[in-house]
Structure 1
Amino acid sequence: MASIWLQVGQCGNQIGQEWWQILTNSVAETERYPYFSRDGSINAICVDSETKVIRRLRQQVKKGYFRDTNIIVGQRGRGNNWAYGYRDTGMGTDQSLLERTMESFRREVERRDCYSGTVILHSLCGGTGSGLGSHLCQEIRDNYPAGHLLSVTAAPHETGDTPLQHYNSLLCLSYLQRYCDGVLLFSNDDVMKRAASTAEKKTFSSSGLQPVVSLTAMNAHIASCLAGLLYPVYSLKTRSMVSMGLEPWELIRSLCPMPSMKFLHTAQVCRRGTAFWDQVTSSVVQTVPRANPQGQLHHSVSVLAVARNSQDYSFLLSRDSVLMKLKQSYRCVSWNPSPIHFWTDPQNILDPSCRSHSLTVCANHSSAADLVSGIVGKARTMYDSGAYLHWYRRYGCEDGDFQVAFNTLDCVVDEYNSLGQP
């Protein structure tokens, strides 16, 4: 089986840049399947309505890894407008941006021995990542219904990105809910905290000031979480140690058993030296949101833990205590008979040069409702006042599109808030 990686917009391509750097810098060429084709090309399609990020991506990843036909670039941005990105009504070559992407996608599918699904990297905020990303999810689902679809998406800062971010996030999330099988949802505010925490541990500062977190560091954190979750593990390899690339789809199977709840929270801790897995687990669960703003405790439908430890299987010695701590800390619902899953691998792709270990935990967690509810509330306030709606109507987005999005996400919030209730 093989997957296709689809990078859309500035954010999606920047995350993809960090992801492919991990693979090209840390993995031997003989072990790069299923992320690379037999000819050595990356199984990825890079799409953006502007050239600057794509240009940097091709410069920083080794020359020749990307097929020229898989680099889809327009000449004009989408103005941070979901409707502009979705309708794809640019000028010149921009008019065919969606069609060009789907044509490259079709060729990539035909190169696969067995197409299993697509991982799409994008954001909720920008016009290309949110709008074109939504349309691509719809097209892929309609044309390749048997394949899985996993979204890796970055939610904007609560305030300060663009005045249209709440509309864009609202409309994009509603499409992800309808067309994707699972959504790895990363909040920029949360990612910034995690990246700052990592920077504090790696650098010594006597000033007492919080280190400045760059956009590159934030993208690197998301890529690190992806590598922790989706890089091949011993648990899912064949007896002959061949990876079939099942990790993204086994993640969906384990964590998204109900189509109404598919937004996933990810936490990760990496350590060097001797592995004390109980301590590592304690560090992970400290980052888990405990309750919503109203004081209602959060719960999880299911949890997946991926342990990577250089050169040994020490995690198995602490497995029972670690999984019990995760089950209690994530407050797994009582009606799921098997809420905890774990994978192990004797290689830490995140730090392969020395004795190290990492624990990446992904959970279908009700804290997603807090983020979604905040987006819906801010978008509804703007919508009721009529703010900026003419920018969306200009590109064919009607009131009915907003109402469907509000209804879709209200149902998601209600489903998550009902977890743990008797």
Structure 2
Amino acid sequence: MQAKGEAAAAAGSFSARAMSAVWLQVGQCGNQIGQAWWQILSSEHVPHAEADRYPFCSPDGKLNAICVDSEPKVVRQLQKQVKRGSFRESNLIVGKRGRGNNWAYGYHSLHSASEENLLQRTMESLRKEVECRDCYCGTVLFHSLSGGTGAGLGSRLCEAIRDEYSLGHILAVTVAPHQAGESALQHYNALLCLSWLQRHVDGVLLIQNDEVLRRAAALLAETAQVSDVQPQVSLAAMNAYIASCLAGLLYPLKAFTTGSGISMGLEPWELLRSVCPVPAMKFLRVAQARRRGTVFWDSLASSVVHSLPRESHAGQSLHYSTSMLAVARSYQEDTFLLSRDSVLRKLKQAYRCVPWNPFPLRCWTDSLNVVEPGCPSHSLTVCANHSSSAELLQQVVGRAQAMYETKAYLHWYWRYGCEEEDFQQAFETLRSVADDYSRLGE
């Protein structure tokens, strides 16, 4: 009987790990966010139960991460993790030269055997990871809109994964560049990449660098009040904030986990089911507030909605949400439950949930705040399918259209295989999505 019990426990443990996602990091930005993400999850202060490992690890204990870049600099930093046994070395896939911040170069990349090999090696690693598990549920992609690798190769990989694994979900964690400009080609890259995401993925956590900068500065300012240190917002601090938001949303919850260690929620995909009720509208906004010590949940809710845009920049229309998810994590979980109704009411009012959705807001709670597990801490993370995403789409379309009409830089795209049809279809796709979001309040 004891042997049977041990076998059953082993089977449950294997299932917990085998039912998992594949985490795909593409380009410099995607790999930097991925490193911040794994740093949170691998902290020695996080009490990892076997069930908590299922979305992240294969049966051999290696992380389900595939790290891809056309240049070796960022990915090479993960070699220490390979030596520690965390990463599979065959899943660190690098090229010999960059993609020139050019979506077309990253997407097509068919000009030599080595360029073609980058795509093939990634799909081969993905195939092996998929075959390691009993049930492949989907892929989470980390990437940016502005770079040639993150935007171009990221788009190509989304298309290839959708074709090869049509039943699996794809969740994109997509970083939009600063509006002030990071590259002369960023508007074209963002236009083409966003249109590919609209066609091939199930949900897009659209993270805007300008907003992340403001949020990270606010968190550092709170720390400075305690330590009297003048805050300096670094790239690492911005990546840490993004990773913290992801941990708030995607780290396993005990409420979704059975005694055998199998999660019934499969959080990345339950997130999509919660906030993407209309398949055509899949662009998501995420914000988080954290506190240490005594918690006042109404105050945390106010911090989350503080910088939420209530109306368009032109003031012509109000913003609305089709659906929302709030995740509260605290070692004093009961304190949130006591404030739950007032917090959710505040969030509903601020995010303006549409009247036609009878259940627009879902709420999850857990007793572990994985971002700061070693101290009394609390976090409130809110993910909303919010119409403010349409403003970014409209800005991208407007600026790309102005460049396109003057034929600025187009020769770089024709050179690497783009055609006018690609641009025209991208313009049409994003305009259609923006129009759908603009009609939410009607």
State the TM-score bracket (shorter-chain normalisation). Answer: over 0.9
CA pair 10-170 structure 1, distance change in 2 beyond 3 A: same
Give the structure 2 partner of residue 179 of structure 1.
200
- Pick one of 22, 35, 42 that aligns with 1:24: 42
Contact 2:333 2:365 in 1 (8 A): no
In 2, Cα distance between equivalents of 1:156 and 1:90: 28
The correspondence of residues 410-421 of structure 1 with structure 2, limited to 5 A, is 410-421=431-442
The correspondence of residues 112-261 of structure 1 with structure 2, limited to 5 A, is 112-204=133-225, 211-239=231-259, 242-243=262-263, 246-261=266-281
The correspondence of residues 33-44 of structure 1 with structure 2, limited to 5 A, is 33-44=54-65
The correspondence of residues 2-401 of structure 1 with structure 2, limited to 5 A, is 2-25=20-43, 26-29=45-48, 30=50, 31-59=52-80, 63-204=84-225, 211-239=231-259, 242-243=262-263, 246-295=266-315, 296-401=317-422
In 1, Cα distance between equivalents of 2:346 and 2:56: 33
**For residue 28 of structure 2, what is the amino acid of its counterpart?**
Q
The correspondence of residues 404-415 of structure 1 with structure 2, limited to 5 A, is 404-415=425-436
SS of residue matched to 1:203: helix
Kindly provide the CA deviation profile for residues 137-179 of structure 1, in whole angstroms up to 9, marking residues without a partner as x.
0000011010000000100011220000000000000000000
Kindly provide the CA deviation profile for residues 42-68 of structure 1, in whole angstroms up to 9, marking residues without a partner as x.
001110000000011333677221111
Contact 2:59 2:133 in 1 (8 A): no
Deviates more, 1:320-329 or 1:234-243: 234-243
In 2, Cα distance between equivalents of 1:200 and 1:150: 32
In 1, Cα distance between equivalents of 2:354 and 2:150: 34
Give the structure 1 partner of residue 4 of structure 2.
none
| Identical-residue share of aligned pairs (%) | 62
Kindly provide the CA deviation profile for residues 358-410 of structure 1, in whole angstroms up to 9, marking residues without a partner as x.
00000000000111111110000000000000000001101110000000000
In 2, Cα distance between equivalents of 1:282 and 1:206: 24
Shift of 1:215: 1.0
**For residue 7 of structure 1, what is the amino acid of its counterpart?**
Q
In 1, Cα distance between equivalents of 2:441 and 2:61: 48
Contact 1:34 1:245 in 2 (8 A): no
Deviates more, 1:164-173 or 1:309-318: 309-318
CA pair 53-208 structure 1, distance change in 2 beyond 3 A: closer
Count of residues paired in the alignment: 420
In 1, Cα distance between equivalents of 2:67 and 2:218: 31
Contact 1:268 1:358 in 2 (8 A): yes
Shift of 1:323: 1.1
Contact 1:117 1:147 in 2 (8 A): yes
Q: Which runs of 5+ in 1 are unaligned?
A: none
In 2, Cα distance between equivalents of 1:128 and 1:377: 23
Contact 1:157 1:189 in 2 (8 A): yes
**For residue 162 of structure 1, what is the amino acid of its counterpart?**
S
In 1, Cα distance between equivalents of 2:313 and 2:229: 30
Kindly provide the CA deviation profile for residues 251-302 of structure 1, in whole angstroms up to 9, marking residues without a partner as x.
1001011111100000100001122211111111112111111211100000
Shift of 1:90: 4.9
Contact 2:104 2:418 in 1 (8 A): yes
Backbone CA RMSD of aligned residues: 1.8
In 1, Cα distance between equivalents of 2:59 and 2:226: 47
Provide TM-score, normalisation by structure 1.
Answer: 0.96
In 2, Cα distance between equivalents of 1:90 and 1:17: 30
Contact 2:20 2:57 in 1 (8 A): no
SS of residue matched to 1:269: strand
SS of residue matched to 1:15: helix
Contact 2:192 2:426 in 1 (8 A): yes
In 2, Cα distance between equivalents of 1:235 and 1:330: 26
**For residue 314 of structure 1, what is the amino acid of its counterpart?**
T
Shift of 1:411: 0.3
**For residue 2 of structure 1, what is the amino acid of its counterpart?**
S
Q: Which runs of 5+ in 2 are unaligned?
A: 1-18
**For residue 89 of structure 1, what is the amino acid of its counterpart?**
L
Deviates more, 1:106-115 or 1:30-39: 30-39
**For residue 320 of structure 1, what is the amino acid of its counterpart?**
D
Shift of 1:208: 11
**For residue 282 of structure 1, what is the amino acid of its counterpart?**
S
SS of residue matched to 2:77: helix
Shift of 1:242: 4.3
Shift of 1:200: 1.1
In 2, Cα distance between equivalents of 1:40 and 1:58: 17
Provide TM-score, normalisation by structure 2.
Answer: 0.92
Deviates more, 1:216-225 or 1:358-367: 216-225
Shift of 1:237: 1.7
CA pair 220-282 structure 1, distance change in 2 beyond 3 A: same
